[in-house]
Amino acid sequence: MRMGILAALSLLASAIGAEAKVLTKGPTGFVVEHKAELAADARKAYDAFVNVGAWWSSDHSFSGDAANMTVDASPGGCWCEKLPDGGGVKHMEVIHANPGGMLVFAGGLGPLQFIGVAGSMTVSFANNAGKTTVTLHYDVGGRDDKDFAEISAAVDGVLAEQVARYAAFVSTGKP
């Protein structure tokens, strides 16, 4: 199953032509970062990010419908997804929530849940001359049989797509 998910993620990364944003990669982990400049104030950008089910791609959900994803933006809150028959997925846990300033999540997205890693995702919102610069920084550490060579590129590609969808959602109301 993991190989199928990795193959699909790798195909997506190459298909969308995402510029590599892997900042570091090695045998103990990797760091990816993506930025978006938005014509919105920081609070609006923050609120839109929390509304993850409106802009995340359904192709990168366990249920097949991103509308099943929610973020409870309070410490201990869940970036969760409802599954059929009462099931669910905890994608990440909110460990810091500062509306209009920063969100920090702990956990592993997608296939990272199935390997021995820990992740910390910081999403910061900085006002900049009437616009907001949103920076998504995801730091993952642990163990991977392939020293994170494949999975770092796949995660980078998926996050590149999601940040683009998020920026479009903030700008147009549609991902």
Q: What is the pLDDT of residues 142-155, one digit of tens each?
A: 999 999 999 999 99
Q: What is the pLDDT of residues 9-55, one digit of tens each?
A: 443 333 333 345 899 999 999 999 999 999 999 999 999 999 999 99
Q: Which domain holds residue 83?
A: 2-172
Question: Looking at residue 50, what is its pLDDT?
Answer: 98
CATH code of 91's domain? 3.30.530.20
Total number of domains in the chain: 1
Separation of alpha carbons 83 and 124, rounded Å: 29
pTM for the model: 0.88
Question: Looking at residue 40, what is its pLDDT?
Answer: 96
Q: What is the pLDDT of residues 81-135, one digit of tens each?
A: 999 999 999 999 999 999 999 999 999 999 999 999 999 999 999 998 889 999 9
Going by C-beta distance under 8 Å and a sequence separation of 6 or more, which residues neighbour residue 94?
Answer: 71, 72, 73, 74, 75, 76, 77, 78, 79, 103, 104, 105
